Amino acid sequence: MTLLDELRGVVGQTHVLVEDDLRRSYETDWTGRFSGKALAVVRPGSTEEVAGVVRTCAAAGVPLVVQGGNTGLVGGSIPAGGEVLLSLTRLDGLGEIDEAASQVTVGAGATLAALQAHARGKDLDVGVDLAARDSATIGGLVATNAGGIRVLRYGSMRAQVVGAEAVLADGSIVSRMAGLAKDNTGYDLVSLLCGSEGTLGVLTNLRLRLVPRLRARCVALVALEDTAAAVHVLPGLRDRLPELAAAELFFADGLALVRGYAGLPAPFPQEYPAYLVLESAGRNDPTDQLVEAIAELDGLLDATVATDASTQRALWAYREQHTEAISAAGVPVKLDVSVPLRALAGLVDRLPAVIAAVVPQARPIVFGHVNEGNLHVNVLGTGELAEEVTDAVLRLVAELDGSISSEHGVGRAKVPWLGLSRSDAEIAAMRAIKRALDPQGLLNPGVLLPD
Ligand code: FAD
Ligand code: MLT
Ligand code: ZN
């Protein structure tokens, strides 16, 4: 029997996709920068089927690439060539909400938007939110330890995870799904799987904590002079606004690109250099508090406040449409870095010259999650010099004591630069963990760690 026949035996004939046109949408990433051919796309419908697929591939010595919603931005869910692509989207079950614990069990293939709608039905919500919510899966969010626009309030994905079920590279199933608030019985495998980018195990079910649904919201767009002004106002905002839920930064060039792409009106009668989207959210209307805090901001150039849902969405669109607007303008080099807040303004000031030194006509568009010192450095028009631009930017970030990946992960895109953020000893420890759990190197080879 061939490998494909064996896989059909595990998941059923219709869930092994071998024809080019059926595989195609799985084989290129969201940005269009990464693509590769899979031997087949396999779509298991249960944890046991995932285990069967992994065991079958392990016996044949054929590696696997794990994929959720394929919204990752670093090429981690795309085959290098010849792997079996394991798509988790059929594992999309939404368990009953445990109101006593404010927790839920969810299939790894459920989308973030589906879980949000499910939780909101019980006046609860998911602590992580991001613009790819309609396609990004819970398994993908955990595997990348995704961040997003609510980290300031609730932390990254790892902080939401209280349990996981996963299939390891030998086909065995590990399951810690009780959602215990306290559990000190040795190594924290669940936490290890968070951010492991599909290299240590295939997540099949997750147990997540939920947060209260905050119905009363106020969103503001604030104009400032520059990054330094934005960083300067942060401590006061955090101090005055315990209900602050988001603080997102973008600049005049990004706003112009977004407006041109989405046909949006100008937010203010005149242009300003830098903008902050602020959101406060609570059980009671946070508008007065937010307005008072904004009125006292040092260096305030202008501000507008939205209290109803549609105007709030309109203000958020200036920020959330950045990713699509940039991709519509070309295939960008997408870098996702963080530096200590004290170094953030220096990074923004130095980036244009560092990029221009490699490609003078390149077009950087920068935006991001300012409270975490996390900037998305997108560079359009790098042509053949994408790797050189990446190198120049990541070396600058390392010089400023930063991280080469703040939230998207290392994937395939940043493997050569891992050593800028991790010491030799750390990489050796990571390799030892990988070897122990996946001695054949079956899961996501070439992702995160150099082969
Ligand atoms: P995929 O892209 O399918 O996979 C991502 C990685 O996880 C791959 O390495 C894959 O092998 C692995 N993986 C997927 N599922 C599993 C599983 N079940 N078990 C083990 N490994 C698995 N990211 C942020 O952090 N913050 C943002 O604000 C943000 N905004 C975005 C906005 C847009 C418009 C887009 C397109 C992307 C954005 N992203 C953001 C990136 C992306 O949405 C996240 O990385 C998300 O977590 C990926 O989920 P996914 O299901 O699409 O995973
Ligand atoms: C975001 O914050 O919008 C994202 O992480 C996506 C991106 O970097 O484009
Ligand atoms: Zn982001």
Give a three-class secondary structure readout of 231-297.
Answer: HHHHHHHHHHCCCEEEEEEEEHHHHHHHHHHHCCCCCCCCCCCEEEEEEEEECCCCHHHHHHHHHCC
Pick the CATH number of 103-212 from 3.40.980.10, 3.40.50.2020, 3.10.20.310, 3.30.465.10: 3.30.465.10
Span 186-227, pLDDT tens digits: 999 999 999 999 999 999 999 999 999 999 999 999 999 999
Domains 216-322 and 330-425 share a fold: yes
320 ligand 1 Cβ < 6 A: no
Pick the CATH number of 216-322 from 3.30.70.2190, 3.30.450.40, 3.40.50.11740, 3.40.50.300: 3.30.70.2190
pTM above the 0.85 mark? yes
- Using an 8 Å Cβ cutoff, are 367 and 375 in contact? yes
CA dihedral 67, 121, 277, 147 (to 10 degrees): -30
Mean pLDDT for the chain overall: 97
d(CA 278, CA 348): 20
336 ligand 2 Cβ < 6 A: yes
338 ligand 2 Cβ < 6 A: no
Please report the pLDDT score of residue 451 as a whole number: 77
CATH 3.30.70.2740 fits 330-425, yes or no: yes
Beta partners for residue 137, in sequence order: 111
CA 378 to ligand 2 center in whole angstroms: 10
Token pair, residue 147, equals: 């961040």
Testing ligand 1's pocket by substitution, the residue of 42, 71, 331, 412 carrying the most ligand atoms inside 8 A of its CB is 71
d(CA 288, CA 308): 14
Span 233-266, pLDDT tens digits: 999 999 999 999 999 999 999 999 999 999 999 9
Q: Is 80 exceeded by the pLDDT of residue 411?
A: yes
Domain boundaries, given as residue ranges, for the chain: 3-87, 103-212, 216-322, 330-425
Helices 227-240 and 287-295 pack at an angle, to 10 degrees, of 140
Q: Average of pLDDT values for 133-137?
A: 98
CA dihedral 35, 333, 420, 370 (to 10 degrees): -120
Measured CA angle at 282 (ends 278, 286), to 5 deg: 60
Span 10-40, pLDDT tens digits: 999 999 999 999 999 999 999 999 999 999 9
CA 166 to chain centre: 20
CATH 3.40.50.1400 fits 3-87, yes or no: no
CA 2 to ligand 3 center in whole angstroms: 42
Closest residue by Cα to residue 45 from 91, 2, 6, 82: 91
